[in-house]
Every structure is written in C-alpha cells, then in structure tokens.
Structure 1
Amino acid sequence: MIDFKKGDGLVPVVVQDVQTLEVLMLGYMNEEAWAKTLQDKKVTFFSRSKNRLWTKGEESGNFLLVKSYHIDCDKDTLLIKVTPAGPTCHTGSRSCFDTAYNQNFILALEGIIDQRYTFPTADSYVNKLHEKGLNKVAQKVGEEAVETVIAALAETEFDFINETSDLFFHLLVLLREKGVTLEQIAQNLASRHR
C-alpha cells in the first residue's frame, strides 16, 4: 500500500526501461493517477504545473507501457518498469536525463533481435540466420568465438573489440533461437555467486 499522505498526496515515481534498466524520467502520482495507471497499464502522472492527470504519451503516442512496479521500503516512492513506445522526453530523447547512450545496449540489442523474430523482414541479417536454423546459428557462435580468441592473442585491441562484439551479437541470436533470455542468464549467474 502506497503512503500518499507523506508527500501531501503525491509520491515520486521513477520510470525505468524494463529492457535496458535505464532511468527514463521522474514524475509524481496521486492516488487517482496511480489507479488509472493500474487500470490502463500506461503510466499516468499528476501534473503539478497543469494541476490534472496526465498520461505520458496522450498527445505524442509515446506511451510508457507498464510491465511491473515496485514500492520502496518506506512506501512513499514508486519504481515503474516500462516498455517505452517511443522517446520518453518531450525533446525527443529516449530519456529525460542527459546520460551517455545506453550503457545497457546489450539488453536493448536483445529486444531488437526479438523484434526481428516477431516481425521478420527479408533484408534482416537476424532473420536470414533464423531461417537457416539452430545448427547454423550455433555454428556462427563457434566461428565468432574462435575469431575472438585469435584477436585476443594476435591482433589489435580494435580487432579484439570488433570480434568480441560479433561474438556477443551472435550469442544473443542463439539465445533467442533457444528461447532463453539474458534475464535467465543473469539469474543463473547471480545464483552461482552466492
């Protein structure tokens, strides 16, 4: 239960991209905005400047689609994880914060690959790999792993970074081919850390 009394009826809301974990914006909600957010599954704030409810994207179509929410330990702040349907900031930027793009791009790339699987196009390299099947995708990961090792031992840092990038990319395609997510891999690694 959220404690709306502490902040004179408003609680701060941190909005985070569910895929990349990037913080997209901060807003405020009252109880009515919270109820509308839960009902519509689109983030709705209470606009302090307009003195009314405001659903992010109501004019631009760049809605923040709710995937999960978390209440802090004091029950007076919300974290909402979303899938953004376009840029979050009114300036057209992906985030309202001027942060270097996107420290979690590997997570974003997982989403891009998933999009290619869900909405295939003829000119997509991901779709061409997928059409060749699991054996070909797995073979590409093996080839890229060997090239990464060679670059680590005998080539420049630039070459090593490029080969490692190729390896990561093809591994992400293999994960999607097998129906495994980075979240599952992260959870497995975290469980091994204990």
Structure 2
Amino acid sequence: MKINYNSEGLVAAIIQDVDTKTVLMLGYMNAEALVCTLETKKVTFYSRSKQRLWTKGETSGHTLNLVSIDNDCDNDALLVKVKPQGPTCHKGTDTCWEESNKQNFGFLSDLETIITQRRENVSDEKSYVASLFSKGINKIAQKVGEEAVEVVIEAKDTNDELFLNESADLLFHYLILLQAKGFRLNDIVDVLKSRH
C-alpha cells in the first residue's frame, strides 16, 4: 500500500464501524503504527500528545478490531474499518461526535421513527398508522397479506409503476407489523447476517 505521509510522518486514519458504517473517530498513524495494526489486528495510532504508539483500548479495554484498511485516491488518508468493542471516544460515547453507533437504513429508519410516533399516539384519528395499531395485530397482519398478494399479482404483469407502488405498500405495512410484534429492521438484519 502506497502512503503519502505528511511532513511529520503521519497519515490520517478515519475509523468506521464495518457494520453500521458510522464514522467513530479520527486518529493518526505513522508507518510503525500501521505495521502494528496489521500484525495485531488491533488498531494502533501514533499519539501526538504522548509521542508514542497507542493501541486503542490499552487502558479502557475498548479496542477497535481491524477488519480492513483502504487508501484514498491521493494516498494521504486511510479508511480503517473495524468492529468496536465498547464505546470509541475517551469520553465514553460511541463516537467522538457523540452520535450513537447504531445501524441506519436512511429513509427506512426515518420511516420507522414516524411509525413509532404514530403507534405511541393511537388517539390521532387522522393517522392511518395509528388507526391500524388501534385495530390490533390481526388487522395489521391481514393488511400485510393483502399487500403481498397485490405484489405477486403485479409482478406477473408488465406495469412497473404498479409493481413498485404495491411493493412500497407491502414494505410500509411490513414495517408496521414488525413494530406491532416488538421488532425493528435491525432484528431482521441480525437474522439475515446469522444466515450469511
């Protein structure tokens, strides 16, 4: 791996959780820290304040287990993918930006949050989601079944727009069913990962 170290012999190392894709921290490595990281599979930095090598977790036990290291296009920054053991920041937070390190599915995670808010406010008569929750698990499961049948019907046709709309309806109602059963997308992902 070709690395363009800076004038101090260091390269920026961006640390990212391999599963959640969350950026956990930024550190610096010199050539010796990189070799140590590759050999031990524990992320090791060059500490500018301590003026020595420093393996993350050497005092806290919260190590960063190496998965991979990639160089950027200019060879002057590393993307280090890890499996963190505990919080990453020395202040006890998951990241050095005080964000939680949890799986995020973009808009689907936003939609899960909206469904949760509607579920918690079942008295909202204008909310379709709240009305489904108030009718109970049988009605929610029935809606998932109906939407699944509609997806199958549209899959056999040639109208892509209808197929995509029915697929969106199925996914939406499935997210509602998951929450009605006390689960989230993360739980399904965990099952799929265990099968992989």
- The bucket for the TM-score relative to the shorter chain is 0.5 to 0.7
Give the deviation of 1:5 after TM superposition: 3.7
- Which stretch of structure 1 is more off in the superposition, 164-173 or 56-65? 164-173
The unaligned stretches of length 5 or more in structure 1 are 107-142, 153-158, 181-194
Q: Supply the RMSD in Å over aligned alpha carbons.
A: 3.3
Equivalent residue letter for 1:104: Q
TM-score normalised by the chain length of structure 2 = 0.59
Aligned counterpart, 2:59: 59
CA gap of 1:77–1:148, structure 2 versus 1, over 3 A, is farther
Structure 1's 171 and 145: CA in aligned 2 closer, same or farther, altered over 3 A?
farther
Q: For residue 104 of structure 1, what is the aligned residue in structure 2?
A: 103
Match of 2:42 in 1: 42
Structure 1 residue 31 corresponds to structure 2 residue 31: yes
> Which AA in structure 1 matches 2:141?
V
Q: Following the alignment from structure 2 to structure 1, what is the Cα–Cα distance between the partners of residues 54 and 187? A: 41
* Structure 1 Cα separation of the partners of residues 191 and 175 of structure 2: 20
2:192 equivalent to 1:175: yes
2:177 counterpart letter in structure 1: E
Contact 1:4–1:76 under 8 Å retained in 2: yes
In structure 1, C-alpha distance between the alignment counterparts of 2:54 and 2:82, rounded to whole Å = 16
Structure 2 matches for 1:63-78, cutoff 5 A?
Answer: 63-78=63-78
1:146 aligns to 2:163 (yes or no): no
Deviations 1:137-160 (A, max 9, x none): xxxxxx99835638x9xxxxxx98
Asked if the contact 1:148/1:163 (under 8 Å) is kept, the reply is no
| TM-score of the aligned structures, taking structure 1 as reference length | 0.59
* Superposed displacement of residue 170, structure 1: 6.0
Q: For residues 47 and 167 of structure 1, do their structure 2 counterparts lie closer, same or farther at Cα, with a shift above 3 Å needed?
A: closer
Q: Which residue of 2 aligns with 1:16?
A: 16
Q: Deviations over 1:50-103 (max 9, x none)?
A: 11000000001111000111111111110010011111011111111123x356
Query: Which residue of structure 2 aligns with residue 110 of structure 1?
Result: none
Which letter does structure 2 place at the counterpart of 1:163? L
1:148/1:164 contact within 8 Å kept: no
Q: Would you say the 8 A contact 1:43–1:64 is kept in 2?
A: yes
Which amino acid in structure 2 is aligned with residue 30 of structure 1? N
Q: State the distance in 2 between where 1:61 and 1:170 align.
A: 27
Query: How many residues in Structure 1 have an aligned counterpart in Structure 2?
Result: 137
Counterpart of 1:183 in structure 2 is none
Other-structure match for 1:163: 177
Contact kept, 8 Å, 1:144 with 1:167, in 2: the verdict is no
- Residues 1:89 and 2:89 aligned together: yes
Gaps of 5+ in 2: 106-137, 148-172
The 1-side partners of 2:184 and 2:51 are apart by 51
